[in-house]
Amino acid sequence: MRLFSTLLLLLATASVTHGQTVSRDLPYTTPATERQTLDVHAPAGATGLPVVFWIHGGGWQTGHKGLVALKPRAFNDAGLVLVSINHRFLPTVTMDEIVRDVAKAFRWVHDHVAEYGGDPSRVLVMGHSSGGQLAALLCTDERLLKAEGLSLAPIKGCVPVDADTFDLPAAIEVAETRARAYGVPLPTNGHRQKFGNDPRKHVDFSTVTHVAAGKGISPFLILHVAENADTGAQARRLAAVLKGASIPATVVGVRETSHEQLNANLGKPGDPGSEALFAFVKQALGR
């Protein structure tokens, strides 16, 4: 394993194209696997720029850090450094280990992103689908960063994109009630299977559990597909809990899109989700 980590360091590459510097396959823990690496996309010559910490989707079982579509150019053009991370997958590791991977990647940003032109004290945490759940949890459950010797203070904003598990017990109940009501089989690869069958874990992996006033939780922009009843309900549920704790929260439902397209279009000129995102970034950073 240590030999593999050494090889990752040796294989990490950097390239400059179209005014951007891209550093790929940087390990964020030691020893590391290929799933514990990240890419940094920075404007050429960047110094002290705010950072977007991006977590890919894929149901905690698939996906990779290269699924960034238009984001590198869009964020770099806006004066932001983009860090896109991998994490390990279910069922090879547990959900607890996946969450710890994300926290360790954030620790890498704290320790090293300045070397790539980023400011570790100004980070926006974002993610799509399952990555949105991980992003929201990282931004509210202070224990995750405390285990890495950090606090929530560097996080200036959180943007989960079309995630459906901010309140995991509710998500499980809705899916299983729907199956029973319509006489179809219960999910065999649903949230109960992915997160385990311990109700206490379901509560603990829910963002709404950890929202509280006085913790320094950053403002939220919660994007979802307007026609998706599940992600819309979860978005409104999280926003209500955040607002109840006097934490700014905005919910934006984007119409005539899909789960995949909402994410792929982020950074596209004229796209409603992108316009909401970059307005939020500007406000969160006080620009």
pLDDT in tens, 212-265: 999 999 999 999 999 999 999 999 999 999 999 999 999 999 999 999 999 999
What is each CA distance from 278 to 14, 110, 156, 267, 269, in whole angstroms?
Answer: 27, 23, 14, 9, 11
For residue 32, the model assigns a pLDDT of: 83
Question: Which position has the token pair 């280990």?
Answer: 97
For residue 19, the model assigns a pLDDT of: 82
Question: At residue 65, what are phi and psi to the nearest 5 degrees?
Answer: -65, -15
For residue 237, the model assigns a pLDDT of: 98
Low-confidence ranges of the chain (pLDDT < 70): 1-18
For residue 194, the model assigns a pLDDT of: 92
- Report the greatest alpha carbon distance in the chain: 59
Q: How many CA atoms lie within 13 A of 95 on its CB side?
A: 20
| C-beta of residue 39 within 8 angstroms of C-beta of residue 116 | no
Cα separation, 183 vs 26, in Å, equals 48
- In 3D space, the residue among 124, 86, 91 whose CA is nearest the CA of residue 102 turns out to be 86
For residue 15, the model assigns a pLDDT of: 60
Q: How many CB atoms lie within 10 A of CB 96?
A: 12
For residue 189, the model assigns a pLDDT of: 86
DSSP letters spanning 31-96: S--TTSEEEEEEETT--SEEEEEEE--STTTS--TT--TTHHHHHHHTT-EEEEE----TTTS-HH
CATH 3.30.70.890 at 2-167+206-284, yes or no: no
| C-beta of residue 111 within 8 angstroms of C-beta of residue 76 | no
pTM over 0.75: yes
For residue 144, the model assigns a pLDDT of: 98
For residue 3, the model assigns a pLDDT of: 45
